[in-house]
Every structure is written in C-alpha cells, then in structure tokens.
Amino acid sequence: MTMDSDSIMGLVDQMEKDTNNIRQEALKITWYMRGGISYEAALNLSSTERTLINEIIKENLETTKKSGLPFF
C-alpha cells in the first residue's frame, strides 16, 4: 500500500483526534468515578467498555436530576 504525503498527514491527523477522544473519555470516566478507577486503568478499557460506562454515567446523571439529590 502506498500513500502520498497528504494522505499520510490526513491519517496522522485522524489518529491524533482519535487519541485525544480516548484521553478525554478516560479523564471523564476517572472524574465521575471519583477514584474508583485510575486514569491508567480507564485508558486500558476497550471502546465498548468506555461506551457502556459513559451510558451508565448519563443514566445516573438523569436519575440524580430527577430525584433532586446532589451529584457533585
């Protein structure tokens, strides 16, 4: 497979965006878990695991809003 320099740069840029999205998801999970998972452990989660945890976080936020209980 051969690629020109513009294609390579585009691929590198997309990989950098993907990496930053993973980092952001891991940091959010770490913050919401309040020490229940380390940043390093969050980085080692699979994409599916991060998605599932983020769904649980969203559900818990909605439940907290509806119940009026403090979350933060």
pLDDT tens-digit readout, 4-35: 999 999 999 999 999 999 999 999 999 999 88
Instruction: Please count the CA atoms within 13 angstroms of the CA of 41 that sit on its side-chain side.
Output: 9
User: Would you say residue 64 has pLDDT above 80?
Assistant: yes
Q: Where are the domains of the chain?
A: 37-64
Query: Does 71 have pLDDT greater than 80?
Result: no
Q: 67 or 72, which is more confident?
A: 67
- The pTM assigned to this predicted structure is 0.77
21-29: Cβ within 8 A, 24+ apart: 22/50, 25/50, 25/54, 26/50, 28/54, 28/57, 29/53, 29/54, 29/57
Question: Is the pLDDT reported for residue 72 higher than 70?
Answer: no
